[in-house]
Amino acid sequence: MGDEDKHTGETKPGQKSRDELIRGSWTSIKSQDSLSLKEKLEKLLTIAREAKKAPREPAAAKNDQKGFFPSISGFRVFENRFPAEFSFGRVRLASAEKIGGEVLALLSRDDSFKELSLNSALFLDLETTGLSGGVGVIPFLIGLGFYDRGNFEVRQFFLGEPAAEEAMLVELDRFLRSLAFSSIITFNGKGFDLPILETRFTLYRLPFDLSRRPHLDFIYPARQLWKHRHESCRLCHLAQQVLGADRLDDIPSSEVPVRYFNYLRSGDFSWVEPVIEHNQQDLLSLLGVVVAGAEVLTAGMGVAELDGFDLVGLARIMEAAGKLETSRELLEKALNRGIPEPLAQGIKQKLAWYWKKKRQWEKAIQVWEELAPAGKLACYRELAMFYEHRLKDYERARELAASGLELAAGRSRSYEQDFLRRLDRLNDKIRRQRLMSG
Distances (CA, A) of 129 to 187, 224, 272, 297: 18, 30, 12, 37
72 forms bridges with which residues in the sheet? Answer: 75
- Mean model confidence pLDDT for the chain: 86
Is this prediction's pTM over 0.85? Answer: no
* Cα radius of gyration (the chain): 29
**Per residue in 157-196, pLDDT tens?**
999 999 999 999 999 999 999 998 999 999 999 999 999 9
pLDDT of the residue at 4: 37
Per-residue pLDDT, 338 = 82
- ∠ CA(249), CA(251), CA(255), 5° rounding? 160
Angstrom distance (rounded) from CA 316 to CA 300: 12
Q: What pLDDT does 302 receive?
A: 58
Question: pLDDT tens digits, the chain, 438 residues: what are they?
Answer: 334 333 333 444 444 555 556 656 666 766 676 766 556 666 666 666 565 444 433 333 333 344 544 455 699 999 999 999 999 999 999 999 889 999 999 999 999 999 999 999 999 999 999 877 667 899 999 999 999 998 999 999 999 999 999 999 999 999 999 998 999 999 999 999 999 999 999 999 999 999 899 999 999 999 999 999 998 999 999 999 999 998 878 999 999 999 999 999 999 999 999 999 999 999 999 999 999 999 999 886 555 578 999 999 999 999 999 999 999 999 999 998 889 999 999 999 999 999 999 999 999 999 999 999 888 999 999 999 999 999 999 999 999 999 999 999 999 999 999 999 999 999 999 999 888 886
Give the chain's end-to-end CA distance (angstroms, integer): 108
